[in-house]
Amino acid sequence: MTDCSDQEQGAQAGRRGPAEDASWPFLTLLEELGIEIDPQLLQLALTHRSYAFENGGIPTNERLEFLGDAVLEVGVTEYLYNAYPAFAEGRMAKLRAAVVSTVSLGGVARSLQIGPRVLLGRGEELTGGHNKTHLLADTTEALLGAVTLSAGLVEGVRLVHHLFDPRIDEAVRSGAGTDWKTALQEMCAELHLDSPQYRIEGSGPDHDRRYLARAVVGGRERGGYVGHNKKEAELGAARLAIDELVAEHHIPVPDA
């Protein structure tokens, strides 16, 4: 299933040989799963456009990223459909969006130590590119694409299941994809409280910002939650505020 032209292009892509690094957790995982990856496609998957531009316009990992994105969607959707038969389409769509988000993919990339192996241009390196969440997410998708071209769609989806099924289960347990802000708004209305307001504080470097959000409900700040972006932080703060109100007023947790 390997595209020969992509193999030839990948061979141009760099100075390093990631396929020879047996200590890399990503390659260790593939070995444990019995999945083989073409070394040239692996190199191509790690070639960011900034590196390609500085090296004569060689091919980038963007086509592999496009493929990997589709394989990821298939694997996650398949698992949600089979593992959670009682979930409606809307809930599955929200969970899928949470699991395939840039933040989630960045977490997978960091767990596999992908960042240090990405080929970057000098400017991108100087601005902390090896730790930029969006760049890590894109590269993770490119690697999924490379595995799929090397070993076939079934193996690509199997890798997705290995990496993401536990994250889906955790997302279900934690309520990821649930609109906790709307649920909190409705709960405040039922309890005759003012609409919730949110206070947010940012910290950390630009390439790895963190946001602390608190929900102001009933004249009190509730639910200090730290997220990778403002939306995530506000949703987390809303969920924590709901937990407090449930305990205070002895009411059930809403099904948001």
223: tokens are 């639910």
Q: Kindly report the CA angle at 47 between 44 and 52, in degrees rounded to 5?
A: 115
6 annotated among ligand-binding-site residues = no
102 and 123 co-located in one domain: yes
Active site residue 31: no
110 and 200 co-located in one domain: no
Residue where a domain terminates, one of 151, 174, 197:
174
**Average pLDDT over every residue of 217-245:** 89
Residue where a domain terminates, one of 174, 206, 224:
174
Domain boundaries, position 35: 25-174
**Average pLDDT over every residue of 53-68:** 96
157 and 86 co-located in one domain: yes
208 annotated among ligand-binding-site residues = no
Catalytic residue among 6, 38, 124, 141: 141
Q: Where are the alpha helices (DSSP H) in 130-251?
A: 133-151, 153-174, 180-190, 230-249
Catalytic residue among 38, 69, 155, 234: 69
140 and 46 co-located in one domain: yes
87 and 32 co-located in one domain: yes
- Is it the case that residue 244 has pLDDT exceeding 50? yes
78 and 113 co-located in one domain: yes
101 and 195 co-located in one domain: no
Range name among 37-41, 236-240, 248-252 with the lowest pLDDT average: 248-252
Q: Which of the two residues, 186 and 2, has the higher pLDDT score?
A: 186
- Is it the case that residue 139 has pLDDT exceeding 60? yes
65 annotated among ligand-binding-site residues = yes
In a domain, 14, yes or no: no
156: tokens are 């690509």
151 and 203 co-located in one domain: no
93: tokens are 């769509």
**How many structural domains compose the chain?**
2
132 and 60 co-located in one domain: yes
- Domain with residue 224: its CATH number is 3.30.160.20
Residue where a domain terminates, one of 159, 174, 189:
174
138 and 73 co-located in one domain: yes
**Average pLDDT over every residue of 5-18:** 46
3-state secondary structure of 86: coil
**Average pLDDT over every residue of 110-114:** 96
Find residue 226's DSSP bridge partners: 212
In a domain, 9, yes or no: no
- Domain with residue 132: its CATH number is 1.10.1520.10
Q: Which of the two residues, 256 and 131, has the higher pLDDT score?
A: 131
CA 104 to chain centre: 2
**Average pLDDT over every residue of 39-63:** 96
46 and 90 co-located in one domain: yes
| pLDDT for position 175 | 72
Active site residue 141: yes
Amino acid at 106: G
Please indicate, yes or no, whether the overall pTM of this predicted structure exceeds 0.85: no
Range name among 39-43, 191-195, 248-252 with the lowest pLDDT average: 248-252
Q: Which of the two residues, 94 and 9, has the higher pLDDT score?
A: 94
Please give the mean pLDDT across all residues of the chain.
Answer: 88
Closest CA to 99 of 29, 122, 91: 91
Residue carrying structure tokens 């390659």: 27
Interatomic CA distance for residues 217 and 163, integer angstroms: 38
